[in-house]
């Protein structure tokens, strides 16, 4: 791999070469992190029966895992600054692998909350964010294409992990499956090892000096840089977006967690229920890269149509849950998976890149509460799908108001430079975050 240097002595992204290895490693990391909590639904019934737990108590396992995954951003940022992306990814792989393996020996649900929820979830958080950052380091001109390829990792995990989990469950039970999956998660250490940093490492003396003098200004600078509290207080449009997105997340993950137990509760075979999750992942593999590339074109950047398209995708995603209430046969749920998967791919392509640290923490609160709240209505009734539908419609209305307010303000203040800066921030699109 040839790495050129700029006039200041820093390295320049090669836009190829070893960068494609980094992209492949990122695909695997995302497959084993963002998609992993969804396969916990395969073990839902067995966990419930083994621990004699209610729906709400059992649903805390994937809920805690997903919440910690999103809330661990600040800790991940600190480790990246101190140790670098490669070491942080390896630490995350070790942490999640050990946590998942330890969960196979859990005797109570509380122990499962700690091992599979907190420890494994934190390992996920330490792995997926630095891997996305490494792709950005290696690519500039081809960054949109590299991000589009990397975004298939989540879909790859959705299409393969449920089938693997179902096979392991039928062969080894849930405890043996968790032990094997812990070994699978350790492979992220290999993915982290191939992510070679570009350029020379910062001097440890300077880094140590900064660590030993944690002044108030340094802490505030860190919070502003990684958490964007200043935007939450000063930018009303970002504030509305952050609150609306967090509200949507209260129901967004419910379908991924409860699709398999919902189908099996009405008599569907476990194999066919797992196949539904695999089909959902295949749809994401097909749709997500295409939409990420199309909406990354210059003609779409800065366009106010993004807000309307995003709101429409959320509305379709919410309305698709009504299909579950019609019937519980495989063809009906297959139609639901197709519509839900397509709209979910669009939503994943419309995510904003800035201030993800703060938004992730706000999302984690709702992601923590969503599955347990829905668990109170599952499985004898399908009220949880209407809960998700209401949340998505409310957020869609908020996004419609937001986009209309932005459009009206642009007409009134077309020459305002401050608004142009806000507009550029609000409609710059992220292809990876899902």
Q: What's 291-334 look like in SS3?
A: HHHHCCCHHHCCCCHHHHHHHHHHHHHHHHHHHHHCCCCHHHHH
Range with the largest mean pLDDT of 44-53, 184-193, 206-215, 301-310: 184-193
Give pTM, 2 decimals: 0.72
pLDDT at 293: 66
Residues 6+ apart with CB under 8 A from 432: 30, 132, 147, 150, 151, 351
**How many angstroms separate the CA atoms of 114 and 124, rounded?**
14
Range with the largest mean pLDDT of 270-284, 342-356, 367-381: 270-284
pLDDT at 281: 78
Average pLDDT (276-283) is 82
Residue 59 has pLDDT above 60, yes or no: yes
Torsions phi, psi of 350, nearest 5?
A: -105, 10
| Positive or negative torsion for Cα 361, 362, 363, 364 | positive
Residue 382 has pLDDT above 50, yes or no: no
pLDDT at 226: 55
Model confidence band, residue 184 (pLDDT cutoffs 50, 70, 90) = very high
Whether 202 is in a domain gets the answer no
Full residue range of the structural domain in which residue 183 is found = 18-196+226-426
pLDDT at 113: 92
**How many angstroms separate the CA atoms of 290 and 57, rounded?**
39
pLDDT at 296: 64
**How many angstroms separate the CA atoms of 331 and 333, rounded?**
6
Q: Is 259 helix (H, G, I), strand (E, B) or coil?
A: helix
Residue 24 has pLDDT above 70, yes or no: yes
Residue 192 has pLDDT above 80, yes or no: yes
Whether 407 is in a domain gets the answer yes
Whether 6 is in a domain gets the answer no
CATH of the domain at 314: 1.20.1250.20
pLDDT at 2: 42
Whether 252 is in a domain gets the answer yes
Q: Are 241 and 311 in contact (CB under 8 A)?
A: no
- Give the chain's domain count: 1
* Range in 120-124, 152-156, 378-382 with the lowest mean pLDDT: 378-382
pLDDT in tens, 106-142: 999 999 999 999 999 999 989 888 888 888 888 877 7
Whether 125 is in a domain gets the answer yes
List the beta bridge partners of residue 430.
Answer: 351
Whether 340 is in a domain gets the answer yes
Average pLDDT (319-343) is 76
Whether 121 is in a domain gets the answer yes
Q: Are 71 and 92 in contact (CB under 8 A)?
A: no
| Residue of higher predicted confidence among 50 and 404 | 50
Model confidence band, residue 276 (pLDDT cutoffs 50, 70, 90) = confident
**How many angstroms separate the CA atoms of 281 and 158, rounded?**
4
Residue 92 has pLDDT above 80, yes or no: yes
As a whole number, the mean pLDDT across the chain is 72
**How many angstroms separate the CA atoms of 108 and 51, rounded?**
7
Whether 307 is in a domain gets the answer yes
Closest alpha carbon to 187 in 70, 83, 100:
100
The beta-strand segments (E) located in 186-295 are none
pLDDT at 257: 74
Q: Are 434 and 129 in contact (CB under 8 A)?
A: no
pLDDT at 137: 83
Average pLDDT (277-286) is 80
Torsions phi, psi of 5, nearest 5?
A: -120, 140
Closest alpha carbon to 387 in 325, 294, 337, 296:
325
| Positive or negative torsion for Cα 49, 50, 52, 56 | negative
């Amino acid at each position: 791999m040839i790495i050129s240097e700029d006039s200041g002595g820093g390295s320049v992204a090669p836009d190829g070469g070893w960068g494609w290895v980094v992209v492949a490693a990122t695909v695997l990391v995302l497959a084993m992190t963002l998609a992993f909590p969804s396969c916990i639904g395969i073990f839902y019934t067995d966990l419930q029966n083994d621990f004699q737990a209610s729906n709400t108590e059992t649903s805390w396992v994937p809920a805690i895992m997903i919440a910690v995954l999103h809330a661990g951003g600040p800790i991940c940022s600190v480790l990246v600054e101190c140790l670098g992306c490669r070491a942080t990814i390896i630490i995350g792989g070790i942490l999640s692998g050990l946590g998942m393996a330890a969960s196979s020996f859990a005797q109570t649900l509380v122990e499962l909350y700690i091992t599979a929820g907190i420890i494994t979830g934190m390992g996920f958080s330490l792995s997926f964010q630095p891997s996305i950052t490494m792709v950005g380091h290696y690519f500039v001109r081809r960054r949109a294409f590299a991000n589009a390829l990397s975004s298939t990792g989540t879909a790859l995990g959705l299409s393969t992990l449920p089938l693997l989990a179902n096979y392991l469950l039928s062969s080894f039970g849930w405890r043996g499956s968790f032990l094997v999956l812990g070994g699978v998660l350790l492979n992220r250490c290999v993915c982290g090892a191939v992510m070679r940093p570009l350029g020379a490492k910062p001097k440890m003396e300077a880094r140590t000096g900064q660590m030993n003098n944690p002044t108030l200004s340094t802490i505030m600078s860190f919070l502003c840089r990684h958490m964007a509290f200043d935007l939450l207080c000063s930018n009303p449009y970002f504030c509305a977006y952050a609150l609306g997105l967090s509200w949507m997340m209260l129901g967004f993950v419910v379908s991924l967690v409860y699709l398999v137990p919902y189908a099996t509760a009405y008599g569907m075979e476990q194999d066919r229920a797992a196949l539904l999750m695999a089909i959902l992942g295949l749809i994401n593999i097909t749709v997500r890269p295409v939409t990420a590339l199309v909406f990354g074109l210059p003609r779409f950047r800065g366009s106010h149509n993004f807000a309307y398209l995003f709101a429409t995708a959320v509305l379709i995603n919410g309305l698709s849950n009504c299909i579950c209430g019609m019937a519980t046969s495989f063809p009906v749920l297959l139609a639901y998976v197709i519509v839900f998967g397509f709209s979910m791919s669009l939503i994943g392509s419309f995510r904003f890149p800035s201030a993800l640290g703060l938004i992730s923490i706000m999302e984690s609160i709702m992601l923590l509460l969503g599955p347990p709240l829905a668990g109170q209505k599952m499985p004898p009734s399908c009220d949880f799908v209407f809960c998700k539908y209401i949340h998505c419609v409310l957020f869609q209305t908020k996004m419609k108001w937001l986009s209309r307010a932005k459009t009206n303000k642009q007409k009134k203040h077309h020459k305002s430079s401050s608004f142009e800066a806000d507009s550029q921030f609000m409609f710059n699109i992220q292809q990876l975050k899902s």
